[in-house]
Chains A and B, each alone.
Chain A
């Protein structure tokens, strides 16, 4: 990549307004579900897999803990710190997942970041996506005094055998069916399979569409930057099982295609591209703006591209958006079809899940591939003390890249706990890294 100064055309995204609206609506819906006016079933849990499974129960809204905590720490770092402190008084260690602590703190302080009392769910439905997840809602459901169920997502290892894969699909499918039975028993509601089938189709479509948007960001210059990406990926995280999310990504994809065709850049001075690793420090997103001063565009991360799945990866061959089962003639007529397709979709195409539970060469190779495909000049690793799952294997990634001669920088921080982030030091590191790759701040 040439380091000479550039100036591309740039303009804000039209889709950004719709993204903001959808997100605001979602959090309002959650709050209203607890009032007579908007009363409906509220289910709490993690957003990493089962948010669509309750669809057969009828009208409900899923309150995902991680995006909530991320919003809180982004919008009100001081408030987030108060939550952490409350959690520590309660007896939870400081080094625990900071999303977990922020959420529990909100519950203890009865403070909902989006205003009003903290919404307590009718029941909690979790997936043991990382080794802390199932414990989170066990604690919460005990505190709130409502039923709790969780499934185990044991993703494929990078060197999984075909037999091993089949076993995992069976295990997960069985658990999903059991979870539905449990929900029916707990709520006393009738379960309509057709609603589930619709929800899973939406999920497949949504995540595939977002992956297509992500692929378009391979273009030079990149049409999306980190900050806009965070506004867009979150809808798949929150409501990928809903038709409005599908509609949103169709609109976004069109806009992305248009921007790419017209060379519209997110960062007009883009001359150096970085891939990021792990969640960002939500309360300090301006570090990406700081990078832009050097003409550096952060063009993505496995994190926001892959958080909701949807990637078809064959090591050494391709990394591309997964094709939804409904487009491949996979039968989706029964409850079991839907659960099986969902289990298969997560296990086949949820690369991020693999990186959370299993690191090693598989993760290293995936990151190197991503850097190559997205035309990146380097990697910026957030050594994230607030999320063990995303920090798994980061040192080995760093080693692998250094050995491959790819510039990499690390900075220490915490996804949700502002106390563990040192901004001046981080900016100093960015400066040192920029110096080492020969980039100065672009004078206006």
Chain B
């Protein structure tokens, strides 16, 4: 019988009380909280400015407040995020920042700027042609602009030391996250997919320094942790934004373990570290964001995303992939036929599920169970 892990409880508590955490941080430090709309926002620079970047997420509740601002054909996630703002749940934010990702979430950012009180709404024009060498000087210059905007806002210069310190904290955080993830390569992972999701979500809501501390404690505890459960089939989730803990809980209750992922609020967030080249911190940061595991929106003309997924499948012993498609998300949708074919070629069966902010867990359960049966059959041969 596994002993209740206090670190995981702490982490889950923070995720479930994210607003309280941020408000308490703000009261304690007297500094600014910056709401960010996507993992392509270069958080290190905001962190170097002394701010707490928090990833804005939805609450998975049906809502009726966004329709005057955002047409229903745009993805439910972007509307859920805007709804949180409109309902005042994020009223402690000092400002918001977005990085060009997609037309859906951009609108949430624009509407938020238009209708909700924020000190600043900042935008980083993140290039989509990340495979082009031209993107590097362009993004570096954009980061310079962003840095200047933050300095103007806080009234303080962001020094090289500030940046170094922020980069160091973030790099450490990424390293520790991979340490946790790598434990899931084992035949009997000491941490479930659901628990890991909480860890990854907490990462995006917390001061990274504090999260690093929790990660170290967690890693210590995981050394001797043995889960009293049959891991079952080893699955990977691939898709758009996904923080649906109810869904993961269901999957891991019917004979499977999620061992790794490729999605917006999973590995794509902490994929790679900043490698410092000489003195140019901003150029180093630009490289990091251009070279990270790409959003499909940025994965062209060549496909760089699939080989990364293939590598994770191999490294983590993945037996099946659940594709989590946020309804209406064009860039991810465009990849589906090619992704399914790629995985099939590699002998990996896939289950496609379309997600909204609430999902029919019962119906999904039936499909997941059927999927697990087919994986079981594969094993016979």
Contact = CB atoms under 8 A, between A and B. Distances in A.
Contacts of A141: 301
Interface stretch (B12-20, B33-41, B101-109, B263-271): B101-109
A95 B300 contact: no
A97 B330 contact: yes
B153 to A, nearest CB: 15
B113 interface: yes
Given A91-B336, A132-B334, A394-B71, A138 B300 contact: yes
A175 B301 contact: no
B138 interface: yes
A130 B358 CA distance: 28
A93 B336 contact: yes
Interface stretch (A12-20, A52-60, A144-152, A210-218): A144-152
B145 A161 contact: yes
Contact of A392 (B107, B128, B129): B107
Interface stretch (B45-53, B62-70, B175-183, B188-196): B62-70
A175 B330 contact: no
B338 interface: yes
A290 interface: no
A95 B43 CA distance: 32
A163 interface: yes
A178 B134 CA distance: 9
B296 A135 contact: yes
Interface in B144-183: 145
B134 A359 contact: no
Nearest to B340: A91
B376 interface: no
B103 A131 contact: yes
A95 B330 CA distance: 8
A395 B68 contact: yes
Interface stretch (A166-174, A301-309, A367-375, A430-438): A166-174
Given A178-B134, A361-B114, A383-B71, A154 B125 contact: yes
B337 A91 contact: yes
Contacts of B67: 395
A393 B110 contact: yes
A385 B73 contact: yes
Interface of B: 67-71, 73-74, 100-104, 106-107, 110-111, 113-114, 123, 125, 127-129, 132-135, 137-138, 141-142, 145, 296-297, 300-301, 303, 325, 327-328, 330-331, 333-338, 340
29 contacts: A91-B336, A93-B336, A95-B333, A96-B333, A130-B103, A131-B297, A132-B331, A135-B296, A135-B330, A148-B301, A151-B129, A152-B132, A152-B135, A154-B127, A164-B142, A164-B145, A170-B138, A174-B132, A174-B133, A174-B134, A357-B103, A359-B107, A359-B110, A360-B114, A361-B114, A383-B73, A391-B73, A394-B71, A395-B68
Interface of A: 90-93, 95-97, 100, 128, 130-132, 134-136, 138-139, 141-142, 148-152, 154, 157, 161, 163-164, 167-168, 170-171, 174-175, 178, 356-361, 383, 385, 388-389, 391-396, 399
